[in-house]
């Protein structure tokens, strides 16, 4: 919703644009504001970790100053702490080894017990062995459960190597039972385990045969990433900067004048459903120091660790069209310029999300 302040002349329209987005991402979508007339002023935001749950507008008939929208109320609600409003889908999961997609994930012999392997088998709409429940989690990723046992589809022993088998196991909520669902084109999707980077649910050797092994294997789709600077919003021409361009674990990241050097070049890579890894020019991961969850914890470079939540970030809409980045390990925290300072060398930290300019970053996320 774009609101203009009173102009005192012309048609004096108060609300000039309305954009609605429908999604199953539970509020984690990022919308870029563009294409509207006028200045970027008069914005109001719901607090961090909340969403717009109600909207009322007063619409006048044409006449006088011809104002269309003359009043506005927005209600903000907090996200649930449980999964009671999760997106749930029940059915089969088809594999892509045949053009017609006639094969499905299948519980071997429908043995609904811990340790049973998942295999590929010809799709059968009446087969209980192919009935799976996919449920969204509060992070935006998904669990996959067998029916009626409710056991979880799991990467065996949290294995990270190619060839790790996929089995049923008691649900624990651990990352090897939580899957990122990412589009791969033409109505198809990949299932990527969240306990390891760059792996994907895979049919061994792309076999079309009944009984083919289902495993984790190296993701061989094009990497979805973007590269460039990450600007802050405390003043014009300010960027996230690796101090002294020291590309080494432990180096702080501060705010500095944008200069397009290696100290300010970052690569943002999609690592799951609304989860992003940020690496420096030297190949180190942007991290929260010591995986701290406290306000004031510094932003540093660190050796990348597969699946480390303090090195993965969720994106949401920020101040005046910017993007707020929240580390997955620290609910309600955002990357922040200490004190909203415009000074060179201002500390980059995490701080309670507040929708302010200190937390609004200008960057390009991979599509």
> Where residue 44 falls among pLDDT bands split at 50, 70, 90?
low
Please give the pLDDT value at position 75.
62
Mean pLDDT (whole number) for 117-142: 89
- For residues 252 and 80, which has the higher predicted lDDT (pLDDT)? 252
> Where residue 87 falls among pLDDT bands split at 50, 70, 90?
low
- For residues 87 and 173, which has the higher predicted lDDT (pLDDT)? 173
Is residue 144 situated within a structural domain? yes
Mean pLDDT for all residues in the chain: 82
Residue 31 tokens read as 């919308």
Mean pLDDT (whole number) for 258-276: 90
Q: Specify whether 47 is located in the same domain as 136.
A: no
Q: Specify whether 308 is located in the same domain as 262.
A: yes
Question: What is the domain extent for residue 200?
Answer: 88-218
Is residue 364 situated within a structural domain? no
Residue 151 tokens read as 């056991």
Q: Specify whether 232 is located in the same domain as 110.
A: no
Tell me how crowded residue 195 is: count the other CB atoms within 10 A of its CB: 18
> Where residue 89 falls among pLDDT bands split at 50, 70, 90?
confident
Is residue 52 situated within a structural domain? yes
Least confident of 193-202, 204-213, 279-288, 342-351: 193-202
Q: Specify whether 195 is located in the same domain as 100.
A: yes
Residue 132 confidence (pLDDT) above 60: yes
Picking from 191, 149, 147, the residue whose alpha carbon sits closest to that of residue 170 is 149
Residue 116 confidence (pLDDT) above 80: yes
Q: Distance (Å, rounded) from C-alpha 186 to C-alpha 291? A: 38
Residue 232 confidence (pLDDT) above 50: yes
Please give the pLDDT value at position 26.
40
Contact 26, 138 (CB under 8 A): yes
Please give the pLDDT value at position 219.
78
Q: Specify whether 100 is located in the same domain as 127.
A: yes
Least confident of 75-89, 139-153, 210-224: 75-89
Residue 104 tokens read as 């499905």
Q: Distance (Å, rounded) from C-alpha 272 to C-alpha 274? A: 6
Domain with residue 235: its CATH number is 2.80.10.50
Contacts of 348 (CB under 8 A, 6+ apart): 240, 252, 253, 254, 255, 298, 299, 335, 336, 337, 338
Is residue 54 situated within a structural domain? yes
Q: Specify whether 241 is located in the same domain as 168.
A: no
Mean pLDDT (whole number) for 47-56: 60
Mean pLDDT (whole number) for 56-82: 57
Q: Is the peptide bond before 148 cis (omega within 30 degrees of 0)?
A: yes
Among residues 58, 79, 100, the one where a domain terminates is: 79
Contact 328, 313 (CB under 8 A): yes
Is residue 367 situated within a structural domain? no
Please provide the DSSP assignment of 128-165 as one string: GGG-EEEEE-TTS-EEEEETTT-PEEEEGGG--STT-B
Q: Specify whether 100 is located in the same domain as 36.
A: no
Total structural domains within the chain = 3
Q: Distance (Å, rounded) from C-alpha 63 to C-alpha 211? A: 71
Please give the pLDDT value at position 158.
96
Among residues 218, 237, 272, the one where a domain terminates is: 218
For the chain, count helices (H), then strands (E).
Answer: 0, 26
Q: Distance (Å, rounded) from C-alpha 267 to C-alpha 364? A: 10
- For residues 189 and 131, which has the higher predicted lDDT (pLDDT)? 131
Please give the pLDDT value at position 321.
81
Among residues 186, 218, 250, the one where a domain terminates is: 218
Is residue 366 situated within a structural domain? no
Q: Specify whether 104 is located in the same domain as 214.
A: yes
Tell me how crowded residue 315 is: count the other CB atoms within 10 A of its CB: 19
Q: What percent of the chain has pLDDT over 90?
A: 57
Q: Specify whether 229 is located in the same domain as 352.
A: yes
Mean pLDDT (whole number) for 330-358: 96
Mean pLDDT (whole number) for 23-38: 38
Is residue 365 situated within a structural domain? no
Please give the pLDDT value at position 69.
56
Sign, CA dihedral 200-206-208-213, equals: negative
Mean pLDDT (whole number) for 19-31: 42
Q: 3-state SS string over 320-338?
A: HHCEEEEECCCCCEEEEEH
Q: Specify whether 202 is located in the same domain as 240.
A: no
Tell me how crowded residue 32 is: count the other CB atoms within 10 A of its CB: 11
Rg of the chain over Cα atoms, rounded to whole angstroms, equals 24
Q: Specify whether 127 is located in the same domain as 200.
A: yes
Residue 146 confidence (pLDDT) above 70: yes
Please provide the DSSP assignment of 290-322 as one string: GG--STTPBEEEE---TT-GGGEEEEEE-GGG-
Contacts of 349 (CB under 8 A, 6+ apart): 295, 296, 297, 298, 299, 335, 336, 337, 338
Q: Specify whether 210 is located in the same domain as 262.
A: no
Residue 80 confidence (pLDDT) above 90: no
């Amino acid at each position: 919703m774009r609101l203009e302040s009173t102009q005192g002349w012309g048609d004096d329209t108060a609300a000039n644009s309305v954009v609605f987005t429908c999604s199953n991402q539970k509020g984690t979508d990022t919308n870029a504001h563009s294409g509207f007339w006028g200045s970027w002023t008069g914005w109001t935001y719901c607090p961090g970790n909340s969403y717009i749950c109600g909207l009322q507008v007063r619409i006048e008939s044409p006449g006088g100053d011809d104002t269309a929208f003359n009043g506005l109320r927005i209600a903000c609600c907090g996200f649930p702490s449980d999964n009671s409003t999760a997106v749930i889908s029940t059915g089969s999961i088809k594999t892509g080894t045949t053009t017609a997609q006639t094969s499905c994930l299948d519980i071997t012999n429908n043995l609904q017990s811990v340790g049973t392997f998942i295999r590929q088998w010809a799709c059968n709409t009446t087969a209980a062995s192919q009935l799976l429940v996919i449920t969204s989690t509060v992070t935006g990723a998904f669990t996959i459960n067998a029916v009626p046992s409710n056991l979880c589809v799991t990467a065996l022993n949290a294995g990270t190597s190619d060839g790790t088998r996929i089995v049923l196991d008691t649900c624990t909520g651990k990352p090897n039972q939580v899957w990122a669902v990412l589009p791969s084109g033409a109505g198809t999707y990949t299932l990527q385990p969240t306990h390891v980077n760059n792996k994907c649910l895979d049919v061994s050797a792309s076999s079309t045969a009944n009984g083919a092994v289902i495993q984790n294997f190296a993701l061989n789709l094009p990497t979805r990433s973007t590269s460039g600077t990450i600007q802050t919003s405390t003043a014009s021409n300010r960027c996230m900067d690796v101090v002294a361009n020291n590309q080494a674990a432990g180096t702080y990241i501060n705010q500095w004048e944008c200069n397009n050097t290696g100290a300010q070049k970052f690569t943002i890579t999609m690592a799951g459903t609304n989860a992003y890894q940020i690496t420096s020019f030297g190949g180190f991961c942007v991290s929260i120091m010591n995986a701290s969850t406290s306000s004031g914890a510094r932003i540093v470079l660190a050796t990348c660790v597969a699946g480390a939540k303090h090195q993965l970030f969720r994106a949401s809409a920020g101040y005046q069209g910017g993007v707020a980045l929240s580390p997955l390990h620290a609910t309600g925290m955002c990357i922040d310029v200490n004190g909203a300072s415009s000074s060179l060398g201002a500390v980059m930290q995490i701080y309670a999300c507040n929708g302010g300019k200190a937390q609004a970053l200008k960057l390009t996320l991979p599509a």
